Amino acid sequence: MRDGVLTARAQPVATATAALVVALVTLVTLLTTGRAAATEAEVVASIDAVGTRLVVATDTTGEAGIDPATVAAIAELSSVTWVFGLGPATDVENVAAGHAGPAPLRALVGGLPSDVALAAGRAPATPDEVVVGSSAATALRMPDVAGALSDGARRYAAVGLVEGTGPLSFLDDGALRMAAPDEDVPLRYVYVLAASATHAQDVADAVRALVVADAPSAVDVSVSSGALELRDVIAGRLGASSRQTMAGVLGVGLVLVTVTMLGAVAGRRRDFGRRRALGATRSAVVSLVLVQSSCAGLAGAVLGAASGLAVLSATGVAWPTAQFVAGVMVLAALVTLVGSVPPAVAAARADPVRILRVP
């Protein structure tokens, strides 16, 4: 290792040339593939919305009897952002406004999701409190979300106004009450938001396995397949183009590194011949060349990455992820090593007698 580092310093032209090649490979990869990767991430993020990630378990017959404990079991999954369940609908009226309404009221298991905006008031804290959707508030004539609702057998205090968006906009048409901890509410729907659209199908499979119901065959678990297909198409096209560009840049870099190291090895033929004549093994010679190229590769990768990120910042382009930058640097360094193997083997297999022979 020490001899390899000293050799890299003793041959500044060859080392600097190899480092420059690696720096250019890293720079060009970041400016082309890195920019495409950042664009892909932005496009996918725009598709990676709630509608794409939402998984819904539905009691299709009304007799599946989905256990409320299913919500707690699904919430334990690391790839789930939130989950809640809704019980059967019951019509309620605003008793303070001449029985205005009706509007559907459902028991909520699991709490309000973060994607449902609380426009006024607060979330329900007891089973006797409800939040009303914006459209339902109009039907119930509750502009200030104050008053009492009744289903004929029980009264509920309205404490908040909610506004659902996107696939959760249906919550605007009804009211929600908190289910009591010991209340056995058969769920009609279970809504699950996957952490990303990439995990949506895996989450759907997990939901199928975790649903506890009297009739599991009557439970349908669905994913937004159209959005997932669109996401895969866009990510696949952008990713394929980026991979082709990166492969071409790395291939050119590999050839240039090989030529550079061949020249460096040719300039040290007599040095390698003396080492072999003094007892150095072929593996030692190979290691010597690889250590020299590694020094050049590491220096070039760092220089190229810093230059590439600086150019991206100057042009106002978003940076690729840290994992992507680190991956490019590792690939550039590996290109240096792979490109140095043929020159290293050639140096190790050269006949020391022929090299040192004096004409």
**pLDDT digit string (tens) for 108-162?**
998 888 778 778 888 888 888 888 888 888 888 877 777 788 888 888 888 888 8
pLDDT score recorded for residue 32: 80
For the entire predicted model, the pTM comes to 0.55
Q: Which pLDDT tens digit goes with each residue over 47-72?
A: 666 667 889 999 988 888 899 999 99
Q: How far apart are CA 207 and CA 220, in angstroms?
A: 10
Q: How confident is the model at residue 181 (pLDDT cuts 50, 70, 90)?
A: confident
Q: How confident is the model at residue 94 (pLDDT cuts 50, 70, 90)?
A: confident
If you write DSSP's letter for every residue of 292-325 in order, what string do you get?
A: HHHHHHHHHHHHHHHHHHHHHHHTTPPPPPHHHH
Q: Which pLDDT tens digit goes with each residue over 258-317?
A: 887 777 777 777 777 777 666 777 787 788 888 878 888 888 889 989 998 898 888 877
CA distance readout (Å), 240 to 33, 133, 134, 189, 319: 10, 45, 45, 39, 19
pLDDT score recorded for residue 228: 63
Q: How confident is the model at residue 192 (pLDDT cuts 50, 70, 90)?
A: very high
pLDDT score recorded for residue 163: 84
pLDDT score recorded for residue 8: 65
